[in-house]
Amino acid sequence: ALGRVEISMDILPKGESIEVVQIIEAILENRNEIHIVNLLNDGAISNLPKDAIVEVSCVVGRYGIKPIHVGKLPEPIAATLTNHIAAQKLTVEAAVTGDRDIAYRAFLQDPQVSSKLTLEETKRLLDDMLNAHAKYLPVFFKE
């Protein structure tokens, strides 16, 4: 049996709480509505990694949230997004492990960094960023 639980919508960024309520209502009331949702790709966009998070139109109802199959993106767009996904994966791995080399590789993977900075400038930028935010990133400063 489902119980009632009170949850404060104050935990959500302003503007997003309405969408969350609409999605929850669509599931509970089996409305089969179309909503734009971020979820695991799992083939919704066939030429992006299955484990990437993508934002696509989905049908939302009692059975849950089901993506509407997009198919293949144009190759230049898929290539750009695949590179971005690779940088995100490296960033997450670096954040979890505290591995500065992986963080450096993530920076190099980003074309906004690699097209503007030398390798040495990129390393300094990473060090400066980590040092500036050390209290939030203790995993990078473990002894």
Task: List residues bridging with 121 in a β-sheet.
Answer: none
Judged against a pLDDT cut of 70, whether residue 3 lies above it is answered with no
**pLDDT (average), residues 68-86:** 97
**Both structure tokens of 14:** 């302003």
Structure tokens at 10: 């104050």
Q: Check if the beta carbon of residue 50 is closer than 8 Å to that of residue 85.
A: no
Say if residue 26's pLDDT is above 60.
yes
Residues 39, 56 contacting (CB under 8 angstroms): yes
* pLDDT on residue 102: 98
List all residues 6 or more positions away from 93 whose beta carbon is below 8 Å from its beta carbon. Answer: 99, 102
pLDDT of residue 98: 97
**Contact indicator for 37, 31 with CB cutoff of 8 Å:** no
**Radius of gyration (C-alpha) of the chain in whole angstroms:** 20
What distance separates the 2 farthest-apart alpha carbons in the chain? 60
Question: Over the stretch 50-63, which tens digit does the pLDDT of each residue have?
Answer: 999 999 999 999 99
Q: Over 80: is that where the pLDDT of 14 sits?
A: no
> How confident is the model over 78-110, as pLDDT tens digits?
999 999 999 999 999 999 999 999 999 999 999
- Could you tell me if 110 and 90 are in contact, meaning their C-beta atoms sit under 8 angstroms apart? no
How much is the pLDDT for 2?
A: 57
Task: Say which DSSP state 3 is in.
Answer: P
Tokens representing 93 are 């791995």
Please give the share of the chain, as a percent, with pLDDT higher than 90: 84
Distance, CA of 87 to CA of 106 (rounded, Å): 5
